[in-house]
Amino acid sequence: MSESTTDQLPVVVIGAGPIGLAAAAHLIERDLEPLVLEAGPSAATAVRAWAHVRLFSPWSEVTDPAAEKLLAPTGWARPDGSAYPTGGDWAERYLQPLADVLGDRVRYGVTVTGVARAGRDRIVDAGRDEQPFTVHLATADGHEERITARAVVDASGTWSTPGPAGANGLPALGERAVADHIAYRVPDLRDPSVRARYEGRRTAVVGSGASAFTALASLADLAEGEGGATHAVWVLRRGITGSTYGGGEADQLPARGALGLRAKAAVEAGHASAVTGFRTQAVERDGNRLVLVAEDGRRLDPVDEIIVLTGFRPDLSFLAELRLGLDERLQAATALAPLIDPNVHSCGTVYPHGVKELSHPEKDVYLVGMKSYGRAPTFLAMTGYEQVRSVAAAIAGDQEAAERVELTLPETGVCGGAGLFDTPDTLQDDGDNGGCCAAPATLRIGIGAPPASGT
């Protein structure tokens, strides 16, 4: 296929979450035609899964400038910039309206099952960069399709692949067999059917980040409301130190500090008990209850339910025929990984970045948004918006704009979406597992309670 013919093809964007929809807006601004493919039935499917969670980021930090330009002619107006939306607010008041403006450029109920170069598997070198991409799809009714694209922007996030309970990164022995008693996101205890699952029962919470704090605080509230029979067992792979509960009152992000203090209060009030240095190896049945077994042979007293909040990871299976350059630890782009390594960086120390850090050996393929960070838990929404601005410029051939940094992070932004629904509006946000931000930043998507996204 000639270059001029390829240029007439759409840019396929995988995922209609906050970053995928922003990518489409930036592509349109560049006179490029996007085609957004969303596996769910509506925009922001993952965000809707934590609709009851209030973000730690205000409206002013969770909308994209190019997207706002598309929305403006419809009469849309950004909500009060100082207010903090829930995941549900974000989806209904911004993300779905944006998807509606995009119209037929967004397809729902289609799952991407594979991406490759036309006529070239992973091995073939000859003429590779000149070939368009073929994107294989499966529709909700099982029909298969193939779409040809000039470039592929994968903004599918990590929400679909939560981490397991097993300390070695694999499911613990027996974990799959008891899946009906394990939740991998913080449950919404406002739902009576969900509430009944935990009320008056003993629940293990595995994880050490904001999602775990949220779960502990939620279960403690439940215990206080019904007389104390509800109890949480907090399973920590490490010991308890001064930083286990976050920064507390000294935290630069007050909402995150408050959430950690609520978790600490749950332990001190006896609504939760902490088990430290426990690396789960197996989950065994004990009648109708479950027993967690550690690598060192320790066995916890039986529990009724388990909530596993050990982070998320990218699904790379459908990209197997592409030549991606990924860090062997984080599964993030090779050039990006050193900048986001959670052993070194918090979201407040990761500078804005774009196409240079996001490029792969396979030309015109970009992983953006939460997925670009692989297993690192500190992604910022505003950083994601800057990513797709840069990527759209690169696909359009404007290398100068692609390499230019146009994002200035606010002095007091925040990281994520993991606050409790009923926490005051002045609080909120930090995604999950492993915490985030020791310094100012912005929103972390799709992680945390219950988580999360933006995704």
Q: Terminus-to-terminus CA distance in the chain, angstroms?
A: 34
State yes or no: pLDDT of 412 exceeds 80.
no
Q: How far apart are CA 455 and CA 450, in angstroms?
A: 13
CB 105 within 8 A of CB 35: yes
Which range (140-144, 268-272, 424-428) has the least confidence?
A: 424-428
State yes or no: pLDDT of 450 exceeds 50.
no
Q: Quick one: angle between helices 18-29 and 381-395, nearest 10?
A: 30
Within a 13 Å sphere around the CA of 40, how many CA atoms are in the beta-carbon half? 17
Spatial CA neighbour of 379 closest among 414, 410, 354, 415: 415
**Residue 431 pLDDT:** 34
State yes or no: pLDDT of 134 exceeds 60.
yes
CB 437 within 8 A of CB 174: no
User: Which pLDDT tens digit goes with each residue over 262-320?
Assistant: 888 898 899 999 999 999 999 999 999 999 999 999 999 999 999 999 999 999 999 99
Tokens of 421: 């629904």
Q: How far apart are CA 184 and CA 340, in angstroms?
A: 24
Q: How far apart are CA 158 and CA 16, in angstroms?
A: 13
The secondary element (H helix, E strand) that includes residue 445 is: none
State yes or no: pLDDT of 384 exceeds 50.
yes
Spatial CA neighbour of 44 closest among 146, 147, 157, 144: 157
Q: Which residue did the predictor score with more confidence, 238 or 236?
A: 236
- Average pLDDT value for residue range 174-195: 95
Burial 382-404, CB ≥16 within 10 A → b, else e: bbbbbbbbbbbbbbbeeeebbee
